[in-house]
Structure 1
Amino acid sequence: MHSDIHLRLHDLRAAGLRDTARAHRPPREDLRTQLGWTLVELGLRLVQQQPAPAARIA
């Protein structure tokens, strides 16, 4: 196989894979919303934890 043909086939395959990946990726806004709510949940868990007892210095 000639190198030009091989390179062209590779480019076509890569473009097809990128298109497929874009089609299966969740919308960016949904990802941001999910991350935001995860951070809110983490913050609420941190606020609800009992503070660790202070270490005594002798």
Structure 2
Amino acid sequence: MHPEINLALHHARAADLRAQAEAHRLAAEARRPHEIRARLGWALVEVGLRLATPKPKPVLVH
């Protein structure tokens, strides 16, 4: 194989890897809004647990 062909293949592969890395970075950024959904979900769980837990009866002291 000629060195020029090998170099051209190397450059093509490097460009492909850079494009894949950029696509992965953009996909990771797109997933970040799910963080808000998770926080909201846990807040709803906390509210549900507070509603489902019976309130303690007051202690009468004479």
Normalised by the length of structure 1, the TM-score is: 0.49
The TM-score normalised by the length of structure 2 is: 0.46
Bigger Cα Rg = 2
